[in-house]
Structure 1
Amino acid sequence: METRKYWITTMQQIVKPVIDAASVGELKKRMPLEEVEGASRERYSHLEAFARTINGISPWLELEVDDPEEARLQVSFAEKVRQGIAYAVDPTSTDYMNFSEEGQPLVDTAFFAQAILRAPVQLWEKLDSLTQKRVITALKQTRAYKPHYSNWLLFSAMIEACLFRIGEKDWDSMRIDYALKQFEQWYVGDGHYSDGPAYHADYYNSYVIQPFLVDILDVVGEEYSEWQETRKVFIERAKQYALYQERLISPEGTFPPIGRSLAYRFGAFHHLANQALRGELPASIHDAQVREGLTAVIRRTFQSQHMFDENGWLTIGLTGHQQTIGEHYISTGSLYLAAFIYLPLGLDVHASFWKAPAEDWTAKKAWNDQDFPIYQSIK
């Protein structure tokens, strides 16, 4: 269990400043705002930090833990997250977050919604009734904005799936159906979707597209026979993209610095982590090699002495502090998508992901004279 303890330790290093500040209504007061000149992200960055942070740890918060030390930590974090939610949705709070001003809140309200879906007991059922009402108001406020013709369609769909899950009668099936149909049209083959009409060589199939498609259909897939069939297809494509992602991890635990949003660091493996959590890895790769590969990525990233500022907040960078990759939509809050690599902490300690003997991941096998399976494409 040493690997799991390492994951929990590094996870805490990332999320603790956000959770501690949010739990006392001081996220806006404490969190610095790093961004490129002229980005003006102060209206959005706090919801970004909070929603992405709680999403990454939500499966762990939902897990029943046997180990007393981990259980105490988990209970403390869960309570702090609920306190943070209460402040975030309270219009009278100084930490009230922006769920409605311009379009960006649609993105992180969707990450907030996905967190609820991943931890419905801890992040929904245990909220008091007033906070629940305010959460519903926050979710619905995003309906005022039309998503961009891209992965943003899935943000609207995720919010509606969450409303369905928590029992709201006026959930909008059309927003979900449109996103599903559009991504079927945007499928380009071998488990990859384009992000809009044109294909982008980046990690958005992992940051958003693949995890959102399968998680949305988990919630609403039984509502229409058409969605049931769609779900089967999307699940197989998701397995293929996981196969592809696992092979991106180099023997040293690095991965190609390709495409947009590299400041999300190892959040680039959101999809592979989610597939491990779901127990839907392709047959040719094993839980243990995914665990070892993702651990190598975490260790390699944490080698930098400049990943955090002097107060423990993430800095802009792929490894350390590399401001040149701070695009116009990137700020301190954005960076907490990195927490998504920790989704497998929601797996029981007795699951094979944690218990199976160590096994090298594919690239390490390939570059160390070991046998490894050839890559097989799908349509």
Structure 2
Amino acid sequence: MAGALDVPEDRKLSEYTGWTRDHWLAQADHMLDALKPFGSPTFARYELPGRPSRSGFDSDALEGFARTFLLAAWRIAADTGRGPVAEDLIARYSSGLAAGADAAHPEAWPRIPQGRPGQPMVEAASIALGLHVTRAWLWDKLDPRTQGLVADWLGEFVGNPTWPNNWMLFQTVTEEFLASIGARYEESEILRGLDATEDWYVGDGWYTDGAGRNFDYYIGWAMHLYPLLWTQMAEGGARNDRALAAREVYRDRLRLFLERYFDFFGADGAPVHQGRSLTYRFAAAAPIWIGEMFDCSPYDAGLSRRAASGILKHFAEHGAPDARGLLNMGWHDPFLPMVQDYSGPASPYWASKGFVGLLLPADHRVWTSPESPLPVETGDFESSIAPVGWLLSGTEDDGVVRLLNHGSDKARHHTPPFDEHTDVFYSPLAFSTVTAPDTAPEAWARRIGNHVALIAPDGRVTSRGAIEPLGVADGWGGSRHVPGFEPEPGAGLERVEGAEIETQTFVKGGAEIHVHRVTAPAGWTVREGGYPVAGPEQPMRGENEKLPGAFAMNDLGVMSRIENLGGWTAAGVADELGANALGAFSATPYLTAEHPGGTAFYRSKVMVYRLPEEDGE
């Protein structure tokens, strides 16, 4: 494909990926050039193909400007505002700012809503950050009328509420930019987002995104990114002392976060497939670059570049961006069942955050140090993140990383009344770098992959509701939950009276031993599913009635196995079509047993791994 893959690899500097800063620049240029045909006459709007978001066409077009402007801003700064690439981008986005912020212009952006949260607030933050990092080359060169129009548009954020999660930080950075240009702002609104993150900090460098146990990649590309960039924006201004003091706190937290973050990536660069907004893809590299920018990475700079370049290269080699140079709504290929309804055709361009490393000059150590191997490339490992309830397992021989989930559930309430909402990106027991959940609604309703479920005599299947962590340590994790029925999407669970499932997992060398203590009515069926595997063709499958046990294997040699170690009486493989982001066909091995009533134990061995190439052909 065109773009970064046209740049010769440098295996001396980059032993593992071959990629250098030139690849990052080329990929950014390729993506930005590909957007031109979709820009409006003034480039104030980018109207990309795809399903519209719930916010509507106009909001999606604004999103196209704002999120690609973030990428353009990093790219302009990488060229220090000089050269033909920077000049073209400055002209294009200056024109877009002048038209988009002008309410009387036919290409005007939707306004920031008053008295309630609205999508333009998200995009305002990207525009503010982009203007901040390109100030000398773009903002300072705008004519006074355009500066006033942009300040007025951004200024509509002032005095308005946001959602009580990472959205509060959008207000922080937007109003800090307004303060820096002498426009109207409210100091309390800048600080309340930062204050809120203190309530959400759970330890070891991790936050929850708002109340509850909402742990995913937003912690890196939002909860660490914005506060540290804010300290740069505020330095030298009215909040200088607070910014300098906060920077040390935020640096220490990011250092703790990064101690385990490199464990999330397989040897092929793939991130563990967990959490919402995964269509942002290589935004997962953002906290790695920020760690280098603020000199707080716990590891050497060569590891930082190896991890970040590995992520970008993984997606580039799997069709993102696509043949047109566009980021589609999916993971590798387009796949709407994994995309939330708040995302539109331009939403994937929050992947621009993954290019923030371009702010680091060419002679920075992160670009000049030889690459170092990822944790999964140096040996098998088991690690844990206690405040989150996660257990990670990596195996060197196949480069696969697995995540056992004993803590992140996205449930709204963990105390009565239990207004729980289960989510396919959070509720499963496990995730990995080589598998993805079956996210199509019909498949999710069956709750097979990486779930322990009760099946009532009438066929209804329970979901894993609010997770109560029991603890994690390297190689072990435990949690319990009360199973319940979700009668319709988004509804609160109908808990099964007197039922409970407690799960403990023991992991070594990629093999997982699961022990489930199940309390449930007699005559109900207990079922546990392994990892779903997916591909363009029907996975191979097999069952062993004597164990019992079952397996499924895709065309890439990714094998998912589940075996009885006690209590299970039957096995099978469930097939799905069009349910999985990694391929049209997916299959999940599972075990079942009829529950005797009261409390009983069920033990299983669960594995997902990649066969050596010669065995996987």
TM-score bracket for this pair, using the shorter chain length: 0.7 to 0.9
CA distance in structure 2 between the aligned counterparts of 1:50 and 1:243, rounded to whole angstroms: 35
2:287 to 265, 268, 271: 271
Q: Provide Cα deviations, 1:310-343, integer angstroms capped at 9, x if missing partner.
A: 6543211122212111111011121100121111
Cα distance in 2 for partners of 1:275, 1:93 equals 41
Question: How do 1:82-231 and structure 2 match up within 5 A?
Answer: 82-101=94-113, 103-143=118-158, 145-168=160-183, 170-220=184-234, 223-224=238-239, 225-231=241-247
How far the C-alpha of 1:192 sits from its partner, in A, is: 0.8
Aligned match of 1:233: 249
**CA spacing shift, 1:238–1:54, aligned 2, 3 Å:** same
**In 2, distance between residues paired with 1:354 and 1:306?**
23
Which of 289-298 and 221-230 deviates more?
Answer: 221-230
Query: Residues 191 and 240 of structure 1 are in contact (CA less than 8 Å); yes or no, is this contact kept in structure 2?
Result: yes
What's the counterpart of residue 71 of structure 1? Answer: 83
Alignment correspondent of 1:372: none
1:5 aligns with 2:22: yes
Structure 2 alignment gaps of length 5 or more: 1-9, 11-18, 381-395, 398-473, 475-617
Q: How many Å separate the matches in 2 of 1:263 and 1:59?
A: 20
**Would you say 1:337 and 2:350 are equivalent positions?**
yes
The change in CA–CA distance for 1:281 and 1:251 in structure 2 (over 3 A counts) is farther
Determine the C-alpha separation between the residues in 2 that align with 1:122 and 1:247.
38
Where 1:188 maps in the other structure, the secondary structure is strand
Compute the displacement of 1:85 (Å): 1.8
Distance 1:26 1:311, change over 3 A: farther
> Unpaired runs of 5+ in structure 1?
370-374
SS at match of 1:184: helix
User: TM-score under structure 2 normalisation?
Assistant: 0.54
Which residue of structure 2 lines up, in the alignment, with residue 349 of structure 1?
Answer: 362
State the shift of 1:40 in Å: 4.7
Post-superposition CA distance 1:199-230 (Å, at most 9, x none): 21211112322111111122226635455433
Q: CA deviation at 1:144?
A: 5.3
Q: Whose radius of gyration is greater, 1 or 2?
A: 2
CA distance in 2, matches of 1:76, 1:188: 44
Q: Contact conserved, 1:307 with 1:320, CA < 8 A, in 2?
A: no
| 2:76 paired residue number | 61
Note if contact 1:25-1:94 (Cα within 8 Å) is conserved in structure 2: no
Q: Structure 2: which amino acid aligns with 1:18?
A: L
Q: How far is 1:307 from its partner?
A: 4.4
CA–CA separation in structure 2 for the residues paired with 1:82 and 1:72:
15
**Contact 2:55 2:119 (8 Å CA) reproduced:** no
Identity among equivalent positions (%) equals: 22
Distance 1:290 1:226, change over 3 A: closer
| Gap change, CA 1:187 and 1:117, over 3 Å in 2 | same
The count of residues paired between Structure 1 and Structure 2 equals 361
Asked if the contact 2:46/2:65 (under 8 Å) is kept, the reply is no
| Matched-pair contact (CA < 8 Å) for 1:33–1:45 | no
Q: Is the 8 A contact 1:22 1:87 kept in 2?
A: no
Q: 294, 311, 325: which is aligned to 1:297?
A: 311
Partner residue of 2:276 out of 251, 254, 260:
260
Paired letter, 2:360: L
Residue 18 of structure 1: how far off its partner (Å) = 3.4
Corresponding residue for residue 45 of structure 1:
60
The answer to whether 1:248 aligns with 2:264 is yes
* In 2: Cα distance, 1:19 partner to 1:242 partner: 36
Match of 2:51 in 1: 34
C-alpha change, 1:226 and 1:81, in structure 2 (3 Å) is closer
- 1:287 corresponds in structure 2 to 301
CA distance in 2, matches of 1:77, 1:227: 31
Q: Distance in 2 between matches of 1:144 and 1:171?
A: 8
More strand by share: 2
Q: Shift of residue 65 of structure 1?
A: 5.5
Q: 1:243 and 1:121, CA in 2 relative to 1: closer, same or farther beyond 3 A?
A: farther
The structure with more helix, counted as a fraction of residues:
1
State the Cα distance separating 1:12 from its structure 2 match.
2.4
Residues 305 and 191 (structure 1 numbering): CA distance in 2 closer, same or farther, change over 3 Å? closer
Contact 1:60–1:347 (8 Å) recurs in 2: no
Shift of 1:251: 1.2
Return the alpha-carbon distance in structure 2 between the equivalents of residues 348 and 221 of structure 1.
20
Give the Cα–Cα distance (whole angstroms) in 1 for the partners of residues 246 and 370 of structure 2: 36
| CA deviation after TM superposition for structure 1 residue 145, in Å | 3.3
User: What do you get for the CA RMSD once the two structures are aligned?
Assistant: 2.6
Task: State the one-letter code of the partner of 1:59.
Answer: W
Structure 1 residues 106 and 270: CA distance shift in structure 2, 3 A = same
Q: C-alpha distance in 2, partners of 1:152/1:250?
A: 30
Does the aligned pair in 2 maintain the 1:49–1:334 contact within 8 Å? yes
User: Which structure ranks higher in relative contact order (CA pairs < 8 Å, sequence separation ≥ 6)?
Assistant: 1
1:180 CA displacement? 1.6
Aligned mates of 2:46, 2:87 — CA distance in 1: 25
1:358 aligned to which of 360, 371, 379: 371
Checking the alignment, whether the CA contact within 8 Å between 2:72 and 2:89 is kept in structure 1 is: no
Shift of 1:232: 1.9
Worse-superposed segment, 238-247 or 171-180: 238-247
